[in-house]
Amino acid sequence: DSKVNIDYNNNNDTAIDSKNAIIQVNNLSKKFKGMKDLKALEHVSFNVKKGEMIVIIGPNGSGKSTLINCLSGTIMPSSGKIRICNHSDTRNVGVCYQKNVFINRLTVREHFELFGAYRGVPDDILENSIENFAETLNLRHMMNNRAGNLSGGQKRKLCIALSLLGNPPVVLMDEPTAGVDVQGRMIIWKMISSLKDTTSIITSHELEEAETLSSRMFIMTYGKVSFTGTSTELRKENKCGYVLRIDSESGNAQSVLKLAQSFVPDAEISEDREDVIRMPSNRRIADFLQAF
């Protein structure tokens, strides 16, 4: 597409160097034409290396789906460059879209057979996978039912299973757990996090899920990736954590600081108040409070 400018130099994610990246996104932008041209993605750049599980969070309309759809090749970006290792063979990328994609009149089993054939999964491995998915996703009793008759949660599980069929090395999922009950969500996340050697980019609106499961989180706001890093880095960068105000005669918190630091080394006196200790989130805060 002649409208797509390639800019190899604008790469502001230095965490992963491009040599090791299995997914490279450079200066990606997407405008939607309309009453007022809308920039759904603006100069997005990042690298993902093999085996990473990236969870993208961000408010509605921040561009998460647009990014996933560009990565999966479903829509064309306005400019920028995407490189996914071996992407020329679509069998290498498993995609679960925000909206479920399936054929109402085919049964669950027929979906597995169809997608298995498309991905070139050998018969014995396919049978094995069908068994596995039926068991772990609680779909065994629905295998011969038409997909159109499944419940919302079951439809979602089917689409997730189809995206994972044949073990594609790269998996893209757009809000895989949306509309699924708590138990179903746990099953799905357990399945996703058990994937070894798979590189995945998953969007979610559950901050907690993102924190516990991702190897790195991306935060999107207004079409930009405004943060990439671990949840610990995120908390640190945003000074998230706890404040403890010490009410003492000296009027400062020095007397408690040493004790706090023996549990939480990064504890410090607040810049603006000397009676306040700031502590980043840390498992040992409870132990410190008990000792205190």
Angstrom CA distances, 243 to 19, 37, 251, stand at 42, 44, 16
Of 29, 47, 65, 72, the residue at the interface with Mg ion (CB under 5 A) is: 65
By CB under 6 A, residue 259 contacts ligand ADP: no
Task: For the chain, state the CA radius of gyration.
Answer: 23
Is 166 a residue that touches ligand ADP (CB under 6 A)? no
Strand partners, 85: none
Residue 94's binding partner among Mg ion, ligand ADP, none (Cβ under 5 to 8 angstroms by kind) is none
Region label for 48, one of left (φ > 0), alpha (ψ between -120 and 50) or beta (otherwise): beta
Closest approach, Cβ 62 to Mg ion, in A, equals: 8
Minimum CB–partner distance for residue 40 and ligand ADP (Å): 3
Calpha distance 249→242 (Å, rounded): 22
CA-wise closest residue to 243 among 285, 287, 291: 285
Q: Considering the complex, state which of residue 62 and residue 228 has its C-beta at the smaller distance from ligand ADP.
A: 62
Do the beta carbons of residue 157 and residue 184 sit within 8 Å? yes
Pick from ligand ADP, Mg ion, none: which does 107 bind, CB < 5 to 8 A by kind? none
Residue 66 as a binder of Mg ion (CB under 5 A): the answer is no
- Residue 34 sits in the site that holds ligand ADP (CB under 6 A): yes
Among 40, 164, 172, 269, binds ligand ADP (CB under 6 A): 40
For 184, the token pair is 């179903």
What residues make contact with ligand ADP under the rule CB under 6 A? 32, 34, 38, 40, 58, 60-66
What residues make contact with Mg ion under the rule CB under 5 A? 64-65, 98
